């Protein structure tokens, strides 16, 4: 399988998408609201993808609770944002509920929990997606949420390593530059370094690499994420389509892998972009 997770265009596979998946065999797909209509439709879509890619395929959804939820009422229950979680027991129950919800629809992975710090004055892109409290509490509650997800047989993806909380702009729209990324930011990730997956932050950390955002930086991935934080699992890029990154998709895909990412994520679902990313990684 190629080390790529791709978005799709709609609620049903197009003939072109079927052919592309069969030919290139990416590691998996990620689904968004545009791909989801009803439980029956969603289960059928995930089953078809799995039939094409095989039993080891990643079937991923970006489902945290709160405002980041692709499975929504009336078909699925609304879960609160992480900022509402105050105890280890509540965080674990949230993870179990989240894991059970996505597992029932055929997914194998969810992009949660957020282990970024909730920093006053930062851009609200993280905001209530983050657990509120000191780094040790974020580590404890985030770990409990991840364990709840795991106990439902779903892989959690911790994000956004090595810490998005201090960013003063939204990395979907521009490249944030962060002067300090230190022990406080790292603690929640280091405490959960044994988890299976982490997603990078598209942030330029000036103290570590003054030229490249973390996703494209061998220094940040090798010396900070693998070294200082000691993360042991697989590292996934955040979405290559975000405006924090510049360059061709092919160059970005190759750059992520060269920097030390294990898997490239590309979410928009357009055929041209999907093909460019798949062909770039060989």
Residues serving a catalytic function are: 172, 238
d(CA 226, CA 193): 9
Q: Which two tokens stand for residue 140?
A: 């404890």
Residues 6 or more apart whose CB falls under 8 angstroms from that of 239 comprise: 265, 266, 267, 268
Q: Which two tokens stand for residue 220?
A: 């940040």
d(CA 61, CA 68): 10
Phi then psi for residue 32, to 5 deg, are: -125, -175
DSSP letter assigned to residue 277: H
Q: Which two tokens stand for residue 260?
A: 């030390």
Phi then psi for residue 263, to 5 deg, are: -145, 140
DSSP letter assigned to residue 79: P
Phi then psi for residue 160, to 5 deg, are: -115, 100
Largest pairwise CA distance in the chain: 50
Q: Which two tokens stand for residue 271?
A: 């055929």
Cβ neighbours of 275 (radius 10 Å)? 16
d(CA 44, CA 216): 36
> 3-state secondary structure string, 105-147?
CCCCEECCCECCCCCCCCCCCCHHHCCCCCHHHHHHHHHHHHH
CB 205 within 8 A of CB 232: no
């Amino acid at each position: 399988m190629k080390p790529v997770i791709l978005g799709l265009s709609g609620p049903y596979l197009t003939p072109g998408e079927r052919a592309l998946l069969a030919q290139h065999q990416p590691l998996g797909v990620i689904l968004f609201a545009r791909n989801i209509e009803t439980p029956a439709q969603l289960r059928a879509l995930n089953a078809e993808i799995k039939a094409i890619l095989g039993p080891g395929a990643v079937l991923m959804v970006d489902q945290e609770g709160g405002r980041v939820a692709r499975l929504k009422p009336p078909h699925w229950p609304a879960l609160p944002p992480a900022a509402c979680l105050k105890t280890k027991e509540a965080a674990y129950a949230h993870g179990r509920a989240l894991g059970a919800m996505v597992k029932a629809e055929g997914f194998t992975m969810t992009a949660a929990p957020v282990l970024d710090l909730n920093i006053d004055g930062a851009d609200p892109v993280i905001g209530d997606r983050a657990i509120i409290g000191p780094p040790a509490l974020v580590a404890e509650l985030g770990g409990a949420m991840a364990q709840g997800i795991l106990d439902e047989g779903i892989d959690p993806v911790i994000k956004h390593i090595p810490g998005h909380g201090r960013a003063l702009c939204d990395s979907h729209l521009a490249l944030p530059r962060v002067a300090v990324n230190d022990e406080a930011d790292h603690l929640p990730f280091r405490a959960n370094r044994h988890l299976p997956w982490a997603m990078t932050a598209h942030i330029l950390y000036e103290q570590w690499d003054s030229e490249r955002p973390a996703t494209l930086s061998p220094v940040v991935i090798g010396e900070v994420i693998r070294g200082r934080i000691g993360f042991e699992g697989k590292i996934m890029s955040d979405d290559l389509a975000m405006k924090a990154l510049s360059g061709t998709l092919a160059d970005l895909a190759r750059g992520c892998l060269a920097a030390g990412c294990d898997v490239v994520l590309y979410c928009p679902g357009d055929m041209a972009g999907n093909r460019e990313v798949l062909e770039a990684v060989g």
